[in-house]
Amino acid sequence: FSDRNLRRYLPGSPALTLARDGYFAAHSKLPQKRNDYSGLRPLELVVFDDVRTDWLVSVPGVKKPCEFWLLVAMDAASRCIIDWVSLVAAPGEDGEREQLLEEHMQLLVGALLQKYGIPKNYQMTLKVENAKATLRAGARDALAVLAGGQVAVEYTRMVNRALPSGYNERHGTPWDVKGILERTFCSFHDHAARLPGQTGARYDLKPAELEAQIKEHAALMKEAEDLPANVVEQLRSSFLTQAEAIDAVAAVFSKLNNRHKHSLQGFDQVQVWRFPEDHGWRPLDELRRYPANEVRRAIFDTRMESPMERLEKLLREQPKPEDVPAEALLSFMARTIKKVRHPAPYTIAWTEAGVE
């Protein structure tokens, strides 16, 4: 038996990596599962995930700047961010920082149903994490009754196992459907990288001036302890206020929803036009109302449709969704409203104009 023949009976590189280092290390060596979203209908699959921004925000009365968290909902068919909830991780009365919880997920789901309704001809599936910001059995069952069985809740999978090396591997599977939203978060961080108060993606990548900015902010808040609340709200430091952070997030998500330079699966190319003196491109349908002599002046171009354009197009192709009665939504969210201890730190922050 030569060494070469013996090596033929050993497991392959993917199997060895899987056993020694876990699923995440071996993922790139294994056959890839590609999800096809091109045949999905609007709101047929809505993906939820939370993300911490790479910058801190200033909160009146709190000496240290706080983390800013988002709970985001994406329509998988169009890869469009359809709504989100923000939360400032400010310390509560017990000293513990606020966290995204089930109550925030229920508020977000309730807002989505109020805004978009429920599809008539197919089931709406909500893909949520099996963590704190989720829909537990009680809320899931209440939602099923509210929607007459037209809304289903599924949970992302988790890997939780001990490797032979002793390392406990515990993560969400990277090949799960919420990867489309996590990739959008990467673009979100890139577009928001110039906002003040950046922390860096990791502790070892934090800006050199961050510690000095935090100390300066703490000193400013200490001096402002005896000032009236309306005066404190007008103070400015190196960090965004909550309102400024919400506006910044809305601007970034709007930019991502209306982007055309992408290679997203299943998107169509659209023809656009403009007159030489125009600053922006217009849809081709608008050209029909101009006389022939004006049409000859038009400049044409072809580009990819944006996520927002695709969502609007897909919604037009389907029957009008069924509205959810306000009384039913109130009943679904009543327990959540009672649980909210600090309404101020979070808000349902944004809705995209132009979608009926």
Highest mean pLDDT among 28-32, 69-73, 208-212, 337-341 belongs to 69-73
DSSP 97: B
CA 17 to chain centre: 32
Position 347 scores a pLDDT of: 40
3-class secondary structure, 21: helix
Cα–Cα distance for residue pair 270/169, rounded to 1 Å: 45
Question: What's the chain's average pLDDT?
Answer: 81
Contacts of 185 (CB under 8 A, 6+ apart): 49, 51, 72
pLDDT digits (tens, 9 = 90+) for 207-236: 888 888 888 888 877 777 777 766 666 677
Cα–Cα distance for residue pair 71/118, rounded to 1 Å: 21
pLDDT band at 351 (very low <50, low <70, confident <90, very high): very low
Evaluate if residue 170 carries a pLDDT over 80.
no
Position 349 scores a pLDDT of: 38
The answer to whether the beta carbons of residues 238 and 217 sit under 8 Å apart is yes
H/E run at residue 190? helix 179-191
Cα–Cα distance for residue pair 246/347, rounded to 1 Å: 9
Percent of all residues in the chain with a pLDDT value above 90, rounded to a whole number: 35
3-class secondary structure, 142: helix
Cα–Cα distance for residue pair 27/42, rounded to 1 Å: 30
Highest mean pLDDT among 187-196, 213-222, 319-328 belongs to 187-196
pLDDT band at 345 (very low <50, low <70, confident <90, very high): very low
Q: What is the mean pLDDT of residues 123-148?
A: 86
pLDDT band at 298 (very low <50, low <70, confident <90, very high): very high
Q: What is the CA radius of gyration of the chain?
A: 24
Cα–Cα distance for residue pair 309/321, rounded to 1 Å: 18
Q: What is the mean pLDDT of residues 226-249?
A: 79
Phi and psi angles of residue 38, each rounded to the nearest 5 degrees, phi first: -65, -25
Phi and psi angles of residue 153, each rounded to the nearest 5 degrees, phi first: -120, 125
**Which of 87-92's residues contact partners 24+ apart within 8 Å by CB, and which partners?**
87/345, 87/346, 88/57, 88/59, 88/242, 88/345, 88/346, 89/345, 90/59, 90/62, 90/66, 90/342, 90/345, 91/62, 92/341, 92/342
DSSP 306-354: PHHHHHHHHHHTSPPPBPPPHHHHHHHHHHHHHH-S-STTEEEEE--TT
Cα–Cα distance for residue pair 134/153, rounded to 1 Å: 10
138-148 core/surface letters (b: 16 or more CB in 10 A; e: else):
ebbebbeebbe
For residue 272, list its beta bridge partners. 283, 301
